[in-house]
A and B are shown apart, each in its own frame.
Chain A
Amino acid sequence: MLICLKPLAFIICLIPVAQLAYGYYSDNLTANPIEYITRFTGSWSLIILLASLAVTPLRRLTGWNELIKLRRMIGLFAFFYAALHFSTYMVLDLDFDFAAIAKDIWKRPYITVGFSALVLMIPLAVTSTAGMIRRLGKRWQQVHYLVYPIAMLGVLHFYWLVKADIRRPVQYGSVLALLLGIRLAFRLTPIVKTWRAKGSTPLLPSSAAPRGRKEVGAGTERSA
């Protein structure tokens, strides 16, 4: 199953690049191809980033554990499209005018947050190798919590750049809120169950119970 799942996801993630290449050769990237490519790669970066955030909720809701093996690749593709997006802006749009780029990053809030998102993606990409995962151990997870602010900055970037039609950024933002909401629910469920179960025989499956208790315990300890 996994054997075909990974190449399949790989190919799907490459479809937008193929579409772009085809559009280029058939002269179909609108009258303003640079703007088109910028928006296209930006959109796909954010969509794929949201897809990478959907992996864990999907896995837990469906119990299809193999999905987790796709997460790293999908995340790297989000970075790949973000890099294309930034390159389009830097090379095609502003022609390596670093003064103008620096001014944009400093002065234009939507570029400031877009740039922050891109910069924050770099440590995630760098630490995505098996070697790094092993070396960082527990800290790896902490580093990769960065994906939440990155996605929020990406949505904010989109929201701040539209002139009047906020429908698409709001849609992306809603998807992000949903994905984060599901995570919150997952986190809270064992805790709630633990509270409910307090004083009576634990009803929890043995795998979830200690984790929930530990978290509650840790929290109380710290606040005490």
Chain B
Amino acid sequence: MLIKKPADIKSSEITPRELYLNRRQFMLSTSAAALAFTGVNFANPPAQAQSAGKLANVKKSNFSTSEKLNSLKEITNYNNFYELGTDKEDPAANAKYLTTRPWTVAVEGEVKKAKTYDIEELTKLAPLEERIYRLRCVEAWSMVIPWVGFPLSALVKLAEPTGNAKFIQFVTLHDPKRLPGQKIPTMEWPYVEGLRMDEAMHPLTILSVGLYGEVLPAQNGAPIRLVVPWKYGFKSIKSIVKVRFVDKQPAASWNMMQPQEYGFYSNVNPEVDHPRWTQATERRIGELRRRKTLMFNGYGEQVASLYSGMDLKKFY
């Protein structure tokens, strides 16, 4: 029975064969994971009902890693999304509050084509790709996640930034009814993040609308979130409602709160420790032993040139 189900969802269509085989290993390891792969999202049935759905025509990408994937159960039940609660399991439990339709994203600021996009339109802006990326959290754990999305550069090009546009600021939805964690003043709401223009245009930088071939679950930042795989996870802002082109380095939530602990760049860097814990090693979720953290989370070949000449100990 466990063997038969995955064939129904044809996961081999969206992931390379060796990953597909990996998944089969997972299934055998825990029945819960097996359930997850059949598409039965037992973790939050009510929340998923409104947004669940398979994404069509998802292309594979050469940017994907062939490492062993984390299970859907791990990816959707171990989240840092303070707007849905500060414990790791809170976002899955509170996912039901975050309704994601209707949803619009305003593109504004230093652009020629300012526009408010409907989420449906945004999802069709560019061909969807599966990007299997490592995600390295600033708390020294990591996962391998099969995102579905499209390059942020596609949206930037459409907006036609003016010569003044040097940075982009992203803003999360501010609505304590749908994001009840915002009723608690843990941080200043809404959450904001930023990228330098060349970082935003880099082909690795995507806007994600899906996970494991399906519509993005609320706890992972539905309906649309940023994914910047060479930076600590908190840079990859969730549930975006505003993309604002600006001429100066914009405010970023963690950076504002504790500038000596979280830099604006926050590139994964094993040589610059967080003041309160080491960044030299990390625990890959599902593994027992720590592994060495790689510079730029292993994406140095693609992104190191963005920072040539910069002292990364200073601009952490």
Instruction: Give A contacts to B, CB under 8 Å.
Output: 27, 30-32, 34-35, 92-95, 100, 103-104, 107-110, 160-161, 163-165, 167
B290 interfacial contact with A, CB 8 Å: yes
Minimum CB distance partner of B74 in chain A: A31
B286 interfacial contact with A, CB 8 Å: yes
CA distance A165 to B86 in the complex (A): 7
Interchain residue pairs with CB less than 8 A apart (12) = A31-B74, A31-B78, A32-B283, A32-B285, A34-B283, A92-B288, A95-B289, A104-B278, A108-B275, A108-B277, A161-B276, A164-B82
Given contacts A32-B141, A108-B276, 14 further A-B contacts (CB under 8 A): A27-B32, A30-B89, A31-B70, A31-B286, A32-B283, A35-B88, A35-B283, A100-B278, A103-B278, A164-B86, A164-B186, A164-B187, A164-B257, A165-B184
Residues of chain A with a CB closer than 8 A to B273's CB: 107
CA distance A160 to B74 in the complex (A): 28
Q: Cβ of B290 and Cβ of A95 under 8 Å apart?
A: yes
Residues of chain B with a CB closer than 8 A to A164's CB: 82, 86, 186-187, 257
Contact with A along B256-282 (1 / 0, CB 8 A): 010000000000000001011110000
Q: Cβ of B78 and Cβ of A30 under 8 Å apart?
A: yes
| 8 A Cβ contacts from B63-99 to A | 70, 73-74, 77-78, 82, 86, 88-89
CA distance A103 to B277 in the complex (A): 10
B305 interfacial contact with A, CB 8 Å: no
Minimum CB distance partner of A164 in chain B: B186
A31-B78, A164-B82 in contact; A110/B289 too (CB < 8 A)?
A: no
| 8 A Cβ contacts from B219-257 to A | 257
| 8 A Cβ contacts from B23-46 to A | 30, 32
CA distance A34 to B78 in the complex (A): 13
A-B contact number at CB 8 A: 53
Q: Cβ of A30 and Cβ of B77 under 8 Å apart?
A: yes
A31-B285, A32-B283, A104-B278 in contact; A165/B82 too (CB < 8 A)?
A: yes
CA distance A160 to B261 in the complex (A): 13
Residues of chain B with a CB closer than 8 A to A110's CB: 276
Minimum CB distance partner of A92 in chain B: B288
B137 to chain A, nearest CB (A): 10
CA distance A93 to B287 in the complex (A): 11
B8 to chain A, nearest CB (A): 25
Contact with A along B166-201 (1 / 0, CB 8 A): 000000000000000000101100000000000000
CA distance A184 to B129 in the complex (A): 66
CA distance A193 to B235 in the complex (A): 61
CA distance A100 to B139 in the complex (A): 16
Residues of chain B with a CB closer than 8 A to A109's CB: 276
Q: Cβ of B78 and Cβ of A160 under 8 Å apart?
A: no
B238 to chain A, nearest CB (A): 16
A32-B285, A164-B186, A164-B187 in contact; A27/B30 too (CB < 8 A)?
A: yes
Minimum CB distance partner of A34 in chain B: B283
A136 to chain B, nearest CB (A): 38
Residues of chain A with a CB closer than 8 A to B288's CB: 34, 92
CB contact between A31 and one of B77, B184, B277, B289 (< 8 Å): that residue: B77
Minimum CB distance partner of A94 in chain B: B290
Most chain A C-beta atoms within 10 Å of own C-beta, residue among B78, B82, B276, B286: B276
A105 to chain B, nearest CB (A): 12
B138 to chain A, nearest CB (A): 9
Residues of chain A with a CB closer than 8 A to B285's CB: 31-32
Residues of chain A with a CB closer than 8 A to B184's CB: 165, 167
Residues of chain A with a CB closer than 8 A to B278's CB: 100, 103-104
Q: Cβ of A160 and Cβ of B276 under 8 Å apart?
A: yes
A163 to chain B, nearest CB (A): 8
Residues of chain A with a CB closer than 8 A to B286's CB: 31
CA distance A160 to B276 in the complex (A): 9
Closest 6 CB pairs of A and B: A31-B78, A165-B86, A31-B74, A164-B186, A165-B186, A31-B285
CA distance A164 to B234 in the complex (A): 13
B27 to chain A, nearest CB (A): 14
A125 to chain B, nearest CB (A): 28
CA distance A163 to B254 in the complex (A): 10
Residues of chain A with a CB closer than 8 A to B289's CB: 95
CA distance A11 to B82 in the complex (A): 36
CA distance A108 to B273 in the complex (A): 11
A131 to chain B, nearest CB (A): 42
B141 to chain A, nearest CB (A): 6
Minimum CB distance partner of A163 in chain B: B139
CA distance A34 to B281 in the complex (A): 15
CA distance A164 to B187 in the complex (A): 7
A164-B186, A164-B187 in contact; A32/B88 too (CB < 8 A)?
A: yes
A99 to chain B, nearest CB (A): 11
